[in-house]
Structure 1
C-alpha cells in the first residue's frame, strides 16, 4: 500500500479539460481559426501550454499576440467559476483512500488552487500542491513527481501516481512509482507497468484500501 498518493489535477481531480479546451477554441476564433474542443482534450491532456500553442501556431501558420496567454487564462478562470465540477466519484475515492495526498500538475499554482476551491477538494491536499510552473519541470519528465515525493519526505517506491494523461502516466512510471491511468477515453498506453481504470470508484480497491 502506498504511503503517498500523487494526483494529477486537470481531468483527474477536477473535470476541467473540456472547459480549458473551450477557452482555447474561443481564443483561436479571434484569429479566424475553428478548433474542436473535444479533439483538443484528446490531443493535449497534460501538455505544457507553451508547447500546445507553439504547435497550433505552426499548424495554422499564425503568430499569437503577446497578450494571448493572459487573455486565455482570464477566460478559463471565468469558465471554471461558472461551470467547473469535480470528476465523478473523486470525493468518495479521496475519502476512502488512506495516505498523504498531493496534487502534481502542469498548471499554474493559482489555477490549481482556484479549481480545488471551487470543487471543494482543497481540504484533501492542504498545501501539498506542486506546479510545473513553480518547479520548472513538465511531464513527461519524471522530475516533477520525484520532486513532489522528495518534498513530502517519501521514497519513489512508496508513492503512487494517479493521472489521466499519457504524458503524466509516462512520468509516473519513469519516476519508479506505481502508476494508475485514469483512462476515460479508452486510450492505448505503451508504458509498461501502468494500471488502467475508467471510473474513480475503482481506485480505492486498486490501490489497496
Structure 2
C-alpha cells in the first residue's frame, strides 16, 4: 500500500514566474546607485538566495551600503512589478488540481511576499495557511531548517516529503533535510546533483512523482 507523502513547493521560480521580476527590481534599484547589472546574470547568480546575503555581496562588489532603506525600496518596486506582470507558470493550476496530496509552500521570502504572489496568481486556494517562510524561523536555504519546519507543521517525517524547487540552494536544503527533491528549471542550467530528477514543464510533475521511490 502506498504511504502518504507531502509535497513542499518553493514559490518564486517554481509556482510563479517571479525570479526575473525580483531581479528586475534589483536591477532598477541598483541603477539609483549608478550600478548597471545584467538581468540574466543577477538571476543566475542569486536564484533562491537570502536577500540580505544578496545585498551584502553586491555591496562588497560595488563598494556600496545597501541597507534597510534599499531593501524597503526594493520590496516596494517588486510589489509594483508583481501587480503589473506576475504570472503563474504554465500547467501549475492544472497540476495542482490533479494532485490529491497534502501540499504546502516553503519559501525564502517574507510571508507577505509569498501570500501576495499566491493571491495575485489565484494559487492561494491550493495551500490555505500551509505557507512557511524562512523569516518565520530565521533560517535560509541551503540550511534544511525551513523544509524540516514545514514537514513538522504538516505532520510528516522528512522521508515522506518531496520538495519541488528551482534553485541549487533549495535542492541542497532538501537533500540536507533527508527529503526527496525534484528540480524544476530551465534546460540551460548546469546539471548538478544528477541523482535529483529534473523537469522543465510543470505538466511533467505528476508523471515524475509516480516514478519516484516514495512507496513502501
Aligned partners of 2:56 and 2:66 also within 8 Å: no
Aligned to 1:42: 44
Aligned to 2:69: 67
Task: Give the unaligned 5+ runs of structure 1.
Answer: none
How far does the alpha carbon of each residue in 1:67-116 deviate from its partner, in whole angstroms, 9 at most, with x for none? 11111100100110111000121111111212111000000000000000
Aligned to 1:175: 177
Residue number among 154, 158, 161 corresponding to 1:156 in the alignment: 158
What pairs with 1:116-131 in structure 2 (closer than 5 Å)? 116-131=118-133
TM-score, L = length of structure 2: 0.93
Aligned to 1:137: 139
Q: How many residues align?
A: 209
Tell me the SS of whatever aligns to 1:181: strand
How far does the alpha carbon of each residue in 1:108-166 deviate from its partner, in whole angstroms, 9 at most, with x for none? 00000000000000011000000001111100001110110011100011110000000
What pairs with 1:78-93 in structure 2 (closer than 5 Å)? 78-93=80-95
Residue number among 28, 39, 50 corresponding to 2:30 in the alignment: 28
Determine the C-alpha separation between the residues in 1 that align with 2:196 and 2:67.
40
Q: 1:185: how far off?
A: 4.3
Tell me the SS of whatever aligns to 2:141: coil
Task: Give the unaligned 5+ runs of structure 2.
Answer: 212-216
Aligned to 1:197: 199
Which range moved further: 29-38 or 111-120? 29-38
Distance 1:144 1:66, change over 3 A: closer
Residue number among 12, 30, 53 corresponding to 1:51 in the alignment: 53
Aligned to 2:148: 146
How far does the alpha carbon of each residue in 1:19-73 deviate from its partner, in whole angstroms, 9 at most, with x for none? 1111100100011001111211111111000000100111111122541111110
Q: 1:183: how far off?
A: 2.1
1:14 aligns with 2:3: no
* Deviation beyond 6 Å, 4+ runs, structure 1: none
TM-score, L = length of structure 1: 0.96
